Amino acid sequence: MFRNLPFFIVVILYVCSCNHVSSDRQKTVNYTKPKTHVKPKSREVKKPVPVWGYRFVITGDFDGDGTQEKLTEHYFNGLTHQETNKFYNVDYDYDIKMAYERQSYSFIACDNKLIRRIDVAPAANFGLLYLKNEGDLNGDGGDEVSCVTNKGDWSSLNDYSIMTYKNGKWVVLYWFPIWEWQLPELPRVGNQDISDAGKRIAVNLDTTNQRLLNDLTAFKGLVKKAGRNKIRIIYRSKNISQDTIIVSLKDRHPPL
């Protein structure tokens, strides 16, 4: 019996060796099996939503003929030459980018087609920050108009221009420098009749936009008549933040 002991030992070692190799091979197969690739979900990018923006509409006798006219602000896409939105529901950088890419421009049109429109400068703007009928400031029988451009930039410096209709065209009667924060913030929407575009933009104002519209309606402006060819203005002074002075319209602008 003991003579066969070496034989049994060899058999046992062989069997153990085979089991070990089989186990190692199984491990190797399991380790090298390719993993299933799971594609990560892409982050959804929200498409910017157009925001119409406010449009000014004022009335008055601008040519001095005794008849009331209406001036309406328009904002156009320079590529399509159609009325378009001023803003998007994203950041201000995107608004500026789109204003330049679309070559946007704005103008003030009169319902009396014999009165020329006022082109708002500079181009690539967001229309107007302010528009008001100032009444007859120079005594010529026609109402003057003040307007401020909503420039597509980051500066708070701006100009307050008083326009008058003379000899068939609009000219600057007087202008003065202002801070944009001197004017009320505009609502982003409003009920406006865009007659030249053949449609009416009607939206429901939320609480914030209704408050801004009320503030705009109550705002008295930065100009008040102070006598014959004289006005009182609230302007950006070189000495202090803002100042109030009485000036002559014949000077065309305050001391700078």
pLDDT tens for each residue of 208-254? 888 999 999 999 999 999 999 999 999 999 888 999 999 999 999 99
Q: How buried is 112 (Cβ within 10 angstroms: 0-12 exposed, 13-18 middle, 19+ buried)?
A: middle
Query: What is the structure's pLDDT at 206?
Result: 82
11 pLDDT higher than 50: no
**Predicted model pTM:** 0.78
Question: 179 falls in which pLDDT band (50, 70, 90)?
Answer: very high
Percentage of the chain beyond pLDDT 90 is 68
Q: What is the pLDDT of residues 107-128, one digit of tens each?
A: 999 999 999 999 999 888 999 9
For the ranges 27-41, 136-150, 154-168, which has the lowest average pLDDT? 27-41
Query: What is the structure's pLDDT at 199?
Result: 53
Domain coordinates of the chain in residue numbers? 53-219
Output 40 or 143, whichever has higher pLDDT.
Answer: 143
CB of 164 within 8 A of CB of 135?
Answer: no
Question: Which of 121, 145, 234 is CA-nearest to residue 182?
Answer: 234
Phi first, then psi, for residue 27 (nearest 5°) are -65, -40
CB of 78 within 8 A of CB of 71?
Answer: no
Question: Which of 71, 104, 99 is CA-nearest to residue 192?
Answer: 71
Q: Chain-wide mean pLDDT for the chain?
A: 83
**In which residue are the tokens 């000014």 written?**
56
Three-state SS at 125: coil
Query: What is the structure's pLDDT at 29?
Result: 40
Query: What is the structure's pLDDT at 41?
Result: 52
For the ranges 12-21, 26-35, 208-217, 237-246, which has the lowest average pLDDT? 26-35
Number of other CB atoms surrounding residue 151 within 10 Å: 21
Any idea of the CA torsion for 88, 82, 130, 54, to the nearest 10 degrees?
-50
Query: What is the structure's pLDDT at 72?
Result: 94
